Structures are given as structure tokens and as C-alpha cells.
Structure 1
Amino acid sequence: MTLVVAEEEKQAHHLRSTLRSTGDRLDQEMRRAKQAESKTEFAELRVRELTVRVSAAETGKRYAELDAARANEEIRRHLMCIESLEKQVKQLQADVRVLERQRNEADDSASRARDTARKFQIELGKQQAKEKGIEENAIYGRKKWFVTGHNEGWDAGHAEGFDDGREDGFEEGRRYGIREGRELGFKQGRKMGRKEAFENGREQGWHEEHERAVRAFDEFFATEVDEKDYTVSIDPSHQYLAIETACFIFPSFLIMSFTQPLSSPGLASGRRRPKNLPSLPPSAFSPPSTGTSDMFPLPPTPSALFPGEVIDANVRYEAFSHGLDLVGTVATGVVLLKTNPSVSAGLPLAVQPSTSDVRVLSEAAPFELGGPIPSDYPEPSGIPQHLHTSYADAHEAPEARSQVIETLKWAFSNSRLIDIDVQSDVMSNAAKYEVFEGILVKATNDIPGDKKVPIVLSNILPPPHDLSVPIVKLLADPSYRNYQAHSASLSLFPNLYVKFTPPMWNQPVPGPGDPTSEMDQHREWKRKIKMFIGPVLEAFGYERIIFGTSPSFAIPSLPNPEDWFALVRESFAELAVEQEAIDAIFSLNAKRIYGP
């Protein structure tokens, strides 16, 4: 039994070992199976990748084949283009050879034509020289016999007409000399009379004002000062006032001394002191014009420089009703500006009786500067006629300049004088001035120098201006520098004149009235006016400045032209111009330009 049991255990042990080895082998085979399975999966992945690559390669191959086919087509097309271009080159080469042959033929023809022309020029020169010699001989013969006949005729005519001409000339010269001498004597007598009357009136006024001031001073002291404490003494040799008490009162020329001591019972007891002295005019402390003391200089007086005659060269037809009395100086002549060509010539009927002694030097008929060229005016009349127009910003447009130039050329050819109202600020604006100057140059270039008519510009002296700009700033302002430069440039037109008319300053012209505000405005206007007179007077001289009282047509007429006359006269007088310049500006220049 033991052996059986031992054998069974041995067999069992063997079976267990066999089972273990079988299990190990089974595990090993399972691992190998898993490895084989993973290899199989990896192989399948590789197969799928290769399949994809193969399909992509086949697709790329098809694309390459298509590209190769397209490239072959392009190559065939380019080969066809090359063949066509080769044919064109051959055709162009043939054309070039034809053109070269034609050029050679043209060169030969031109050479033959030049030779022929040279021969004709030689013959023509000979013929012209022959004709010129014949013409010069004829001219020389005519001149020779003309001089001979002229000398013989002059001798015969001079002997016959000398006596008759001497008698007629003597009588005519005598009448002319009497008339000129009477006019000159009248002017000089009126000037001397005005001067003497001014001196006499000033001295008489001083005496009256002095006596009035002394009486007022006496009345004041009689009512305000105690006669027991104050004594008044007057120095009759110098006509000074001296009041003897204990203080000094200075309006410069009046010295008062108080002689009563400070310990006087009257002052110590608080006696009433005099009130503030009344304000006396400076004439009370100034000597008359015949005084001998150097300590009493004459007070400043307005200038006594007056024109001998006034001609208002810029009067609107409707402004004539205001009259022609310019601060005591009656205008003897006018230049009328009509706004309507149909207005009848001559003075307005409403003012003819009161201005019968006024002579109309010329009447100005209007025309449109940028409009169509007029056909039949100014109409002839008994009064000399000329044309006037207005230049505005609209005429500076490029499309309007050609019409403006053509209209001005017509005016220069059909009028003895042109008045231009410049309503554009060309004097202070450089761009506007260049356009305006270019228009004048182009309009006058084709006119010969001896046929150029006078051009009179208004509303540029003084130009448009802002009165709020102080004079110190105005001197350095670019607009004023442009005004100086443009004045000098305009003066280079020898037939151009400047009319001194009221400016466009957006304020009424102040008069020399008594209120302080009006006097301040009057002085300010004079300062500004003198600023603008200087460059024009320096550039044009007084021979090309003309006085007028009506402003530009862009603003209303002046209600009081005499205020403008006073401003202009005083401005020129304070610039220390001579009497000759005053007479030229206010009358002589207008007579010379507008007169018949």
C-alpha cells in the first residue's frame, strides 16, 4: 500500500509538474499569440498607410500627367506665337527697307528743292534791291522837290500872313492875358483877403475871449472871496493876473501869491477859503499875436492853407442835391457819375437854380465790366463824356477775366478817359492785386503809347480798412506793407491816376464838431488818412491825385461832403505840402484830365 501510495504521489507530483510546465507553455503561447496579434495589427496599419501612399502617388501621377499635357499645349501655343512674330519681324524688316528707300528719295528731293529755293532767293534779292533803289530814288526826288516847293511857298506865305497873323495874335493874346490876369489877381486877392481876415478875426476873438475870461474871474472872486482878506492886482504891462494871498495856483500862466501871514486871525479862526477856481480857456493866459514875450508862444491853430479853387471830380448824380458848399469853399466844377445811361446830360433840374455857376467838366456814363460790349453809347451831348465802371471780386474769377479784358479794350478805344471804382481790396491782398494788375496790363498792351487814355482809380486812396487796428500795429501789418508795394507798382502805369474819395471804413465820416467824441474821431481819421497818403504821394506825386466827395457805389453817398473836404484839406496841410500841391490836388489835376 505504501508503495502504491508512494507511486500515486510520485505520479501526482509528476502530473503537477507537467501541469505547471503546460501552464507556463500556455502562458508563453498566449504571449506569442498576443505578440502575433499586435504584429498583425501593425501590419494592417502599415498596409493601410501604404495603400494611402499608393493612392496619393497615383493621384500625383495623374496631376503630373495633366500638368505635362498642359505644358505641352503651352509649348505648342508659344511655338505658334514665335512663328507669327518671326513672320511679323520679316514684314517689318521689309517695311523698314521700303521706308529707308523712301527717305533716301525724300533727302534727294529736299536737296534739289533747297538748291532751287537758293536760286530763287538770289533772284528775289536782286529784284528787291532793284525795286528798293527805284523807290528810294523816287522818295529822294519827292523830298527834294517838296523841300524846294515848301521853302518857296513858306517864304511867299510868311510875307503875306505875318502882318495879318500878328494883328490877330496880338488881339487874341491881349484878351487871353486880360482874362488870365483877372483870374490870377482874383485868386491872389481872395487868398490874401482870407489870410488877413483870418488873422484879424483870430486877434479879435482872442481879445473878446480874454475880456470874457477876466470878467468871469472877477465875478468869481467877488462872490467867493472876502475882500478884507484878499487883494487882486493886475499888471497892466503884461496883462497878467496876480492874487496876493498865501498859496500858488497854476494853470501854467497864472501866478497867485498870498501875502497875508499864516498867523493872521482870519486864517487861524477858520475863515472860509475860496472854492475850486473855474476852468478858464487857454486864451485867457495867452498873449495876442502881437505880444513880445517869448514865454507866451501862440497856441496851436488849424492850418490856414486853403485851395484857391475846388473841383469835385467824383459826384454821383443823385448826390448833387446836397449842395456844393465845402466848408466855406464853393466848388466851381464837378465831374458827374451817372448810374443810368438814359439820364439826361447836365445838372439835375432840382439844383440848377442854386448851382448855376457850377461848371460840369465831364459826365461819366456807366458800362458793365464783365457784360457784353456796348454798341452805341455814350451818346453825344453838349457836355464832354467819358465812361466809368466798377471792378468787384466777381471779375477776378478765371472764367470772367477774358471778358473783362475785352470790355476794357473796347472802353479804351471808345472813350477819352476811364473811371474805375475798385470795390475789391486789391491794395492789401497780394493775390487780388496780381489779378488786377494782370488785367490792366493785358487790356493796355496792344494800345500804342500815344493813344493810351487816362485811367482813374477810386476807392484805393484810402483803401478799405479796419479802424480798430492801432497805428503802431498797422505799420508792421502785412496789409500795409502790401499797400506800399502796390502803390509803387501802380505808379509805373504812366497814364494812371488816383482819386481821393471817402473810404469804406464802416463808419460815417466825422466832422470837426465841438463834442469831444467827434473831435477824437476826427483826429483818428486824420492820422489814418495821413498814413495812407504818404505811400501814394511818394509814388505818384501830387500831379496824379484828384479830389472827390462821393464814395464807392458799394456804399451810400455822404450826407455831409464838407466833412470829407475838411479831413482831406487838413491832412494834406499837416503833411506840410506847398500851396502848389493843394491847388493841383483840389482843382488843377481834374481840369487837366477831365477838361475838354
Structure 2
Amino acid sequence: MDDITYQYLATLIKRAFVEEHRQASELSALESRLSAEMRRAEEAVARAEYAERREKDALATVARLEAQRKKLDEEAVAIESSSRNYQVQLELTERELRVTRRDGELLQEEFQQLERSHKHSQEQCRRYQTGLKESHAQMDSRETVMKISMKKWFTNGEGVGYDNGYKDGYEEGKRDGKRQGIKAGRKEGLREGIEQGRAEEQDRYNGVDPAGVRRWAQSDWLKVLLNGIIKRDALIICILHRPALSLTTTMSAPRRKVPKDLPKLPASAFNSPVTESSGILPSPSTIQPEQVIDANVTAADVAHSQWKQEAGQVLGGKIRGVVLSLPGADVDKVAKELESSSDRDRIVSLTVPFDLTKPDSAVEALVASAKIPISLSTVYNGPSTEATEGLKWALAQGRPVDIDVHVVLSEDTLEGFEDTVGKATEGLQSPPPIILSNILPPPHDLDLPIIKLMNHPTYLAFTSQVAALSLLPNVHIKFLPPAWDQPTPQTPYPGSPIDTPDAKVQREWKRRIKLYLGPVLEAFGYQRIIFGSSPSAASSAKSNAGDWYEIARESLAELVSDQEFVDAVFHGNANKVYGKAG
């Protein structure tokens, strides 16, 4: 029984082990399937997330493409609208072109009519001129000789009194008019000189030598006529074969002395340098001064480091000297510092300021003891006895005197300034140079169009004023940045477009500067104009030395096209005036 039980139990145990093994195998297989299913589930989740990301990217791409499509549609609409506008503008332009062509044809017809009228007027003028000559020939010879004599004295008189044409009034006019004639004769002589100069210039262009009349009046023919050797008939023949004299001038009231002939602009100032063979304008860049003396450098230190930085390579490479001014500095200390400075050779002159109405005796001592070249500078605010005495004191030092004119020049102020200079130089055998600032170019309103400026009373007055100032002995004028309440335009970089705002402003400045520079050149000549880069003390605008140099050089070169003129203004004149300051 026990064996049976044992066997039964063993069988049960064996079956249990087998069942357990089977269940373990099934459990293992189930675990494997479960792991596989888990991996498949994870892969499915990953694929779902990737699909979701792809879906989002696709939706973003679709939205972006839709926005681009809308933008393209808008651009297409805008292009179509612009195309219609251009078509309308083209049609309007074509109509305007047709109208312009019709206007051109009408202008051509008017021009032809004007040419015919001009020819007719020339014929009438020739007939009138012939009649005038015949009328002159019929005049009494004694009266004609008297008038020719008056013309001779009018041309060759010493200029200290009224016209010498009236024999009886000559001596009295010489005594009484000597003092008044200098003052009053400048005004009347200025007007007559301007008219005479313009008439002579016009005659020169018309092929008539205006000096021929003067040479004939000074020749032996007049002496023969005055001695009565030639009879009336010979006189008439002589008059008919000589340029007609202006009897209107000689028959008028006694006149004062004609001023000296004003310096004339070169032919290039009136005639374009373009020729039929060349066909192009010479570039101002081809006319460069070989050397430069900057006659107006205002600095804060002896080394004038700020000016050197502004000058750059273009101006700095040509500089041979500067006239240095140090406002507010201790002049004695500066003079001693300059004696041992490395820039000593570059300093052509040190400018020492003084009060025109109250000169300081210390300045006189400094001028006498300084071992460096010294020039004086002051500000003119109006005429006064003190100003006259102060200027006379300064000129007596024998050094160049810079005068910064801070008054608006009018007929009265100009007359006062002339009196001040005249009285200050009276009695001096050889007064030193006087250099004027804040005149070229003068203070000016840039809002005034240049077309209106040419006929504006202020510009017309300026031309008369500089002509009057040029008659003052040994007076020079500085070419400085103007007091126009705007900074000097920056020089465009080489190769930059010509239509940039800076380039347009620079061209506008050059046009205005040339407008003022022309009358000054005609009155003073190129020998009495001196370049400087620092503006007048009356100017509150900033100016860069290098930028002003380019504007000033191009303006002068475009106006005169002459190397000698440019070298004189930028170097030679300053060297003559300030080189003797020591």
C-alpha cells in the first residue's frame, strides 16, 4: 500500500512538475508576446508622433504658401495698377512732347523774327552812328578842341580834385577838392569806372580797342590841334577817321577824378574754356596748387592738432605754412612755446589780437621782443575816433593787420570804414598790408534762390562795395568759409554718385561762392586774395578745413582755369603778405 501510495504521489508530483513547466513555458511565451506587443505599441506611438509632426509641418507649409500666394496676388494687382499709371504718364508725356515741339517751332519762328529785327536795328544804329559823326564834324572847332582837352584832363588828371577840363576851375578844384575829392570822388568815380569798364569790355568783344581813344587823346595830334596848326577841315577829317568821343560826358557838369582801372577778370571768366576742337570742359581737379599756406588757422593748442586732423592727406600734404591764431591763450607764453616747438618752421606768423578802440601796450612790447613772426588782428564794429587811432597805432607797428568786419556794409558804414582806413594810413610812408575778413563770401541767406540773388539789391550793393574797397591802398581780402549759418558741406568720396544730398549741397555752395568770387577777382585781382580755412569769428557754423579747401579750390579753378591764379591765392599772396611779418 505504501508503494502504491508512493507511486501515486510520485506520479502526482511528476504531473505537477510537468504542469508547472508547461505553465512556465506558456508564461515565458506570454511574456515574449507581451514584450513584442509593447515594442509594437511604442513604435506605433512614435509613428503617430512623427505623423503628427509631419502634419503640423505640412499645415505650416500650406499656410506659408497660402500667404505667399496672397502676397503675389497683391503684387500682381499693384504691378497692374502701376502699369496702368505708367501708361497714363506715357500718354501725358507724349502729349507734352507734342506741345513742346509746337512751342519749339513757335520759338524758332520768334527767334528768326528777332534775328531779322536785330539786323534791322544794327542797320539803323549804323545810320545813326554815321549821322552822329557828321553832326560832330559840323561843330565849331574851338568848342571841339576844348572838349577834347577836357577829356584829356579827365583821363590823365592826378585825381586830387575836380575834373581838370575846366581850365579856370583846375587850380581851385585842386586846392579845395584834394581832401573832398578823395572821399566824394570814390563814389562817383566808382560808378563811372564800373560803367566805363563794362563799356570797354563790350567794345573789346565788338572788336573796338577802347584804349585807342585814350591813346589818341594823349598823342601829339591833340597838341597840334590845340596849337591851331591844323585847320577846321583837317580837324573834321581827323574826327571822322577816329573813334567817336563821348561828348555827352564832356558837356556835363565838372566831374571828379576817374578811379584807377579796376583789375579785370581773365578771359576764362567771361568765355567758356570749351573750344570746338576740345568739346569738353577742363576738370577743376586738374588745377591744384603746388603748395598751400593756410592764412587763417584758429586752433586751441600750439600744435593745432584738430586742424591737422581736419586737413587730411589732400590739404595736409600741400601745406607749407599756416598763420596761427589761438583765441584766449596767453600770447607771451605761446610765443615762447613756439620758439622751441617742432612746428616752428611751419608757422608763417602768429596772430596777436588787440582791441581796436583800446590797444594794449603789452601787445606793442610783445611785437618788439618776439623772436617769431607776428601779425595783428582785430574786429571792426563801426567808425569812431578811437577805432581810427587804434588802427593807426597797429599800422605803426609795421606788421600785417587782419580786420574782421562785423558790421553790415552799407553806403554809410562803407564810407565810415574808408574814412577810418584813410585817416589811419595818412602820414605813413609805406603802411603794412591790411587783410579783410568776413567779406568773401559775405554773410548771406541760403533760402534766397540764386536766380533772385543775381539781381537782388544786396548782391548789387556787394559788387559796388568790393570795388570801392579795392581802391584802398594795400588792402587784401581773405577767402574764408562763409557765415551762412550752415556747416561746410562734406566733400563727396571719389566715385560716389553725383546726386547724393551732400554733393547737391556742395554744388549749390560753389555756385553761390563763384557768384561772389567773380566781382572780387575783377576788383582786387588774384594778387590780393588770400586763402584761409577757419571761418570768421562772426560765424557760428562749423567748418572742416579739408572740405572748405576743396570747395574754395574748385570754385576758383572753375572760374579762372589758370594755374598762376590758383597758386597765388593759395600760397603766393600769403607768403608775400605774412612772410614779411617777422
Task: With the length of structure 1 as denominator, give the TM-score of the two structures.
Answer: 0.45
* Higher gyration radius (CA): 1
Task: With the length of structure 2 as denominator, give the TM-score of the two structures.
Answer: 0.46
Question: Which has the higher relative contact order, 1 or 2, with Cα contacts under 8 A spaced 6 or more apart?
Answer: 2
